[in-house]
Structure 1
Amino acid sequence: MAQTTKYNMVKEKITDWITSGKVQPGEKIYSENELGKMFGVSRHTIRQALGDLVHEGWLYREQGAGTFVSHQQIPSTQMALSQSQLPLKKTKNIGVITTYISDYIFPSIIKGIESYLTDHGYSLTFACTDNDIKKEKQCLQTMLNRNIDGLIIEPTKTNVFNPNMKFYLELEQNKIPYLMINQFYPQLSPPHLVVDDEYGGFISTEHLIKLGHKKIIGLFKSDDLQGINRMKGFIQAYKAYSIPFFPEMLINYSTENQVKFPMERLAETFKTDNRPTAIICYNDQLAIQVIQYLRSLHLSIPDDISIIGYDDSFLAEASEVKLTSVSHPKMDMGLDAAKWIVNAVEEKGTLPLSYVYKPNLVLRNSTGPYPKTL
């Protein structure tokens, strides 16, 4: 009980700083160590409290820089308040739902959205689903209760049936424009901004094939269309270069088993005589895990084995091995999404229903020629 009291005390105090104006939007707050000393609690308690405040939209994190106050006016914890309980709306409000909000490439996408919308007098309400269908339902319900004027959303698990379609149809019936980013639900044929992930999968595999690699393993997430399309490009490259393809070359995983399963399956392949000479990963996060595993085997990258990530995130240059990775527009996607939703809300004319970004391969030192020693 004492732990809960301390945890809530930290949250309430930081929230009070924000609502009272002691810390302003965009301003960095104290570090975890400083907050721990200030409140006399453990770093674990501070980390829990900050994590909740990020999830609720009060704060946002920037990798390597710290934790900052969000520009939004009303956090996600208050989205379900009835309209009578809310202050009079002076500006139009745009909802933003992403699968994650404070990690990986999402801060860059959100920064692009936020910078444009706040410059144009819009308030924002953030929420994230953790790529969970039930949480997506909650987010959509609270956004509708908030009476948003428009919605930018990264949908959840687009390669499986989603029972939340009625909420999107309700948005359409209420003439609330919405735009999907990174992926989309094919059943709805919604406006969307996406990367050509099939092409990204193709050019990464083609790069390795041209370097002489034939034993290439692909690790792809299978419950969203991004992973499926990247896998399609991987397979198409094998077909285009008439290289024999074997099922063992594919390792598929889902959101629920993404922590251990792909690495366990990869480890199995290194116990056979048919070991890969190159690996293509669903994203940079997974690629970093693979690099750590390869180091445990005392394999040199790229002399013994090559590896490619996806999204060209900050992680691509975060380790000693600089990661070759497929690009992602990130900030541009956020800006374009914000421009689209403003045009739709203000009815400034007919808008294209979709835009597909063509990625390129950012070459670094994690890929090299087929090992001559093999």
Structure 2
Amino acid sequence: MPPKYRLIADEIKNEIVSGKYAASKELPTEYMLVDEYAASRQTIRRALAQLVDEGMISRRQGSGTQILRRTGENEDGNRLSVAIVTTYISDYIFPSILREAENVLSGHNCTLSIFATQNEISNERRVLKQLLDSPVDGVLVEGTKTALPNPNQDLYRQLISKGIPLVFIHGNYANLPEALSVLDDNENGGRMLVDHLRKKGHRNIAGVFKSDDIQGPLRYEGYTQALCDADININDKCIAWYNTETKGDLLSGGFASYFDYILEECTAVICFNDEIAGYVVGYFREKGVAIPEDIAVVSFDNSWYSEYAPVRITSLSHGEYNAGRSAAELLIRLLNGEVCQSEKLPWILMEKESS
């Protein structure tokens, strides 16, 4: 349970957001807060110090405690408007990411607009133009085909030049280093899965990666570096690449010859995410292949796919971290004028029956 001063700080913050002190623009005195929360004066001071650090209040000797700005308001006193732009809304892990981001932003009194690009450049451009025509106070965005040169960076730069904070989630653009991001630790994730499989005795390890989103090349980089560090030869024929346009082919049997090949040459396969891993497990099971006895399957994201596959899939998890929540919290800090840095979310291995 959080310490009492944090609980009190959160309660005061909620009251500020609700507008309870809008008329006076001041908080009650320390003595009044001591009585209201049945807490010591020291506890109240620690709670107020936390709110000062968050940029919500200002304390000056003889001037009381001033409310600088209700979280979720812009300089005109209106509710902050935040756009969330993701590749998808209802697919795979996106409902969880959006839900966590919405919870944070709504909790800070922001109004939200949600857009999906379907990972298509033309859709991304249309959305960015809309945001420039109807300005917002902040943008939480998952880039489109982030492993490829992006023709929409001119529009991102226009948003940045207008002083609109951007936070990228999952993938960012190398040519926009000034924009902050919350990313998976993809390279280290690839290493972790190889290390896990090596501990199980595997050396011939295949890999299936996505080529047009930056997570794919980074996970591949970690995978290949780990193999090289272990003095294991890399067999290019055991590595498959797909992209947004060919994903449907993969999931409908179009990569059957590849999977049949690695079944003969490899004892394990690393998949780009749980959706792909779930298909791979199902494909092998239909052919009578025992998992993990004949071939082990591991993956990223620890989503519901990993739990409800025919064999529960060993997968990397972010544990208590959620990319949507972390990115939204970072955006709120930027909107409050704080100096912030990009973040990488660490992975935790969740070992299950597939390895």
TM-score if structure 2 supplies the norm length?
Answer: 0.74
Whether the 8 Å contact between 2:263 and 2:295 is mirrored in structure 1 is no
Report what 2:51 is aligned to.
none
Instruction: For structure 1, list consecutive stretches of 5 or more residues without a partner in the other structure.
Output: 1-87, 368-374
Task: Give me the whole-angstrom Cα distance separating, in 2, the residues matched to 1:281 and 1:205.
Answer: 11
Matches within 5 A, 1:199-214: 199-214=188-203
Q: Give me the TM-score of the superposition, normalised by structure 1.
A: 0.71
The RMSD of aligned alpha carbons is 2.0
Equivalent position of 2:122 in the other structure: 134
Question: Does structure 1 retain, via aligned residues, the 8 Å contact 2:319–2:348?
Answer: no
What's the secondary structure of 2:254's corresponding residue? helix
- Match 2:316 to one of 326, 332, 337: 326
Residue of structure 2 equivalent to 1:316: 306
Taking the aligned partners of 2:196 and 2:91, their CA distance within structure 1 comes to 28
State the match for 2:157 in structure 1: 169
In structure 1, give the amino acid aligned to 2:154: K
Give the corresponding residue for 2:336: 346
Tell me, yes or no, if structure 1 residue 157 matches structure 2 residue 116: no
Answer yes or no: is 1:256 the counterpart of 2:272. Answer: no
1:91 shift after superposition: 1.5
Shift of 1:145: 2.2
Structure 1 counterpart of 2:292, which letter? Answer: P
How many Å apart are 1:327 and its aligned residue?
A: 1.4
String of CA shifts for 1:39-95, please: whole Å, max 9, x gaps: xxxxxxxxxxxxxxxxxxxxxxxxxxxxxxxxxxxxxxxxxxxxxxxxx99421100
Q: Distance in 2 between matches of 1:114 and 1:360?
A: 25
Specify the code of the residue in structure 2 equivalent to 1:253: Y
Q: Does 1:113 align with 2:101?
A: yes
Cα distance between partner residues in 1 of 2:262 and 2:175 = 42
Change (3 A) 1:102 1:272: closer
Matched position secondary structure for 1:162: coil
Kindly state the Cα deviation for residue 273 of structure 1 after the two structures are TM-superposed: 8.4
CA distance in 1, matches of 2:176, 2:194: 31
3-state secondary structure, aligned to 1:229:
helix
The answer to whether the 8 A contact 2:282-2:309 is kept is no
Task: Report if the CA contact (8 A) 2:142-2:170 is conserved.
Answer: yes
Deviation at 1:320, TM superposition (A): 3.3
Q: Unpaired runs of 5+ in structure 2?
A: 1-75
The match for 1:180 among 136, 147, 168 is: 168
Q: 1:264 to 1:328 in 2, by over 3 A?
A: farther
The CA deviation at 1:268 is: 3.5
Moved over 3 A (4+): 261-266, 271-274, 328-331
2:270 alignment partner in structure 1: 280
Contact 2:165 2:331 in 1 (8 A): yes
Residue of structure 1 equivalent to 2:182: 193
Residue type matched to 1:200 in 2? G
Question: How many angstroms does 1:146 deviate by?
Answer: 2.4
